[in-house]
Structure 1
């Protein structure tokens, strides 16, 4: 049986390996490492999924801001989500995302944004961000920029999403 819980410092290497396995590169794993050193990092929302004492998946929600003129609104960005290659296609990513959204809502967060496959993320309640006048940073494909409102009464949130600079850093091999 899979257990979903917040990550522990001693598991950073195992989490790095999860993202390397899931994405076949280091970019996502390095992003997680960089974000952990910032005030945007939310330790309660850096979740792992484990089976038989092995970390097999990880997701991270990071604090972001949506800016509309002089107004700003807090939100969370879901990125990355990774499941080890040999554990994919077993609905573990689905379990992890559902648990993460539930925890984010429990902690009082109102809005989650994600850049991802609409066919995958719409099953979790994500919708086109453009339909809510929420725009991505330049260079993001609008059709893959999605939002989940965890609090339906939040109707006045609109503007451009501002990610932490750690998302923009180019990585050297």
Structure 2
């Protein structure tokens, strides 16, 4: 399996992959593929952090996107990243594709100077990559979610130390 930066020629395949990956997901609004399209055109987009996984035949089996977000604390705000979404073709799920995308994304984000990532996800999946509850860092969301589903990781030592606040998503997420 190869992980590489997504290219413009991949967009149509990635759109279909994301739709397929979330089609039967219970906790989904089934709009993830449209969100990725909007985010690619936004100021929050970081081309180096839109990654695809390819199998030996060059077929795209997965995609991950990290975009810029803020942690807002009134007078101060701190830059972070959102991991949303990670998508794997159904027939390749539970084979390590998502995990490889996550770990490669962490490495690239660290190289680019980012110190943290925040996500909303499954409480039994993301902790294996070092994610813990955002509440441990004093970080909350602008909407109600179960506490165990809001997670963050420090990419650098103390990457979230004293960076308490509310996650502020880019307008493309449709969250005010």
Aligned to 1:55: 60
- Determine which of 144, 153, 161 is the counterpart of 1:139: 144
Matching of residue 68 in structure 1 with residue 90 in structure 2:
no
- The number of aligned residues is 168
Is the contact between residue 136 and residue 142 of structure 1 (CA under 8 Å) also seen in structure 2?
no
User: TM-score scaled by structure 2?
Assistant: 0.92
Can you list the C-alpha shifts for 1:61-106, whole angstroms capped at 9, x where unaligned?
Answer: 0100001120010000000000001111111111111111111111
Deviation for aligned residue 1:140: 3.0
CA RMSD across the alignment = 1.2
Runs of 4+ in structure 1 off by over 4 angstroms are: none
Aligned to 2:10: 11
Deviation for aligned residue 1:138: 1.5
- Between the aligned partners of 1:81 and 1:54, the Cα distance in structure 2 is 17
User: TM-score scaled by structure 1?
Assistant: 0.93
Structure 1: 5+ residue stretches without partners: none
Structure 2: 5+ residue stretches without partners: 25-29
What SS does structure 1 have at the residue aligned with 2:125?
Answer: helix
